[in-house]
Amino acid sequence: MSEKLQQIINRQNQALVGDDQKVDEVIQLVGFIVGEEEFSIPILSIQEIIKPIGWTRVPQIPSYILGVFNLRGSVIPLIDLRARFGLPLQKHTDETRFIVMKNGDDVAGFVIDRLTEAIRMPKRDIGPAPDTISESETMIDGVGKQADRIVTILKVHKLLERNF
C-alpha cells in the first residue's frame, strides 16, 4: 500500500516538475493596438492600466510626450505611442487606455488605441527583430508568431529611455 502511495506521489511530483518547466518557457505578454499594428510588452513590466485621465502639457519637450499626469500622488510623464511611432494623431476613444510601464525606477504612462488580450507565448515562437533595424536603435525586442497573426514585442527599457 505504502509503495503504491509512494509511486503516486512520485508521479505527481514529476507532473509538477514538468509543469514548472513548461511555465518557464512561456512568456506572458499584454497585447495592444497602436494604429494598425498589434504590439505587446511583457506583463511584468506593466504597473497598471488605467482609463484616460487629464494631463498637463509640459513645454519644451518632443511632441510625442503629451505631458505629465497625476497617478495617486506621483507625477508621471505621459507618452503618446502613436506620435512616438510617427503615426497621425487620433482623438481618444472609449477604448483608449494608458498603460503605466515601469523599469526599475523609471515609470511612464503610454497612450495606446486599445487593448487586445493577455498572451501566453512559448519562447520558441519568438523570433528576433528584423535585420533591417539596427540593433542599438530598435525598440523591437522580438517578433512573436501565432497561428493567425504576428505580434511585435517591444523593449520596455527602450520605451522608457529619454532620447531628447
Partner 1 sequence: MDEFEEILQDFLIEAFELIEQLDQDLVELETRPDDLDLLNRIFRVAHTIKGASSFLNFDVLTHLTHHMENLLNMARHGDLVIDANVMDVILESIDLMKALLVRIRDHGEDSGLDVSGCVARLDVVANGGEAEAVEVVVAPVVQAPIVVKKSDEEPDYANMSDAEVEAEIERLLAQKQAEAIAKRLGNEEPAKAAEIEPDYANMSDAEVEAEIQRLLFEKQAQDTARRAQKTENIAPQEPALISAPIVIPAPVSQPKTEVAPIAKATPAASTTPTTPRRSESKEDSDSKGGGVEQTIRVDVKRLDHLMNLIGELVLGKNRLIKINDDVEERYEGEAFLEELNQVVSIVSLVTTDLQIAVMKTRMLPIGKVFNKFPRMIRDLSRELNKKIELEIAGEDTELDKSIVEEIGDPLVHIIRNSCDHGIEVGDVRMASGKSEVGTIQLKAYHEGNHIVIQIIDDGKGLDADMLKQKSIEKGIITEKEADAMSEKEAFGLIFRPGFSTAAQVTSVSGRGVGMDVVKTNIEKLNGMIDIDSEVGRGTSMKLKIPLTLAIIQALLVGVQEEYYAIPLASVLETVRISKDEIYTVENRSVMRLRDEVLSLVHIGDIFEVERVFDSSEHAYVVVLGLAESKIGLIVDTLIGQEEIVIKSLGEYLKGIEGIAGATIRGDGGVTLIVDVAALMQMAKSVKSTIGSESGEAKKIGVKNSASDYCVMIVDDSKTDRTIMRKSLEPLGVTLVEAVDGVEALNILKQGDHYFDAMLIDIEMPRMDGYTLALEIKKYNKYKNLPLIAVTSRAGKADRMRGVESGMVEYITKPYSPEYLMNVVKRNIKFNEGL
Binding residues for partner 1, rule: CB under 8 A, are 54-61, 65, 67-70, 73-77, 91, 105-108, 160, 162
Least Cβ distance, residue 162 to partner 1 (angstroms): 5
Give the total residue count for the chain.
164
Which residue, 54 or 88, is less far from partner 1 as judged by CB?
54
Which residue, 25 or 161, is less far from partner 1 as judged by CB?
161
Contact, 12 vs 91, CB < 8 A?
A: no
Which residue, 77 or 144, is less far from partner 1 as judged by CB?
77
Least Cβ distance, residue 63 to partner 1 (angstroms): 11
Tell me which residue has cell 523570433. Answer: 127
3-state SS assignment for residue 78: strand
Least Cβ distance, residue 73 to partner 1 (angstroms): 6
Q: Does residue 55 come out as left (phi exceeding 0), alpha (psi in the -120 to 50 range) or beta?
A: beta
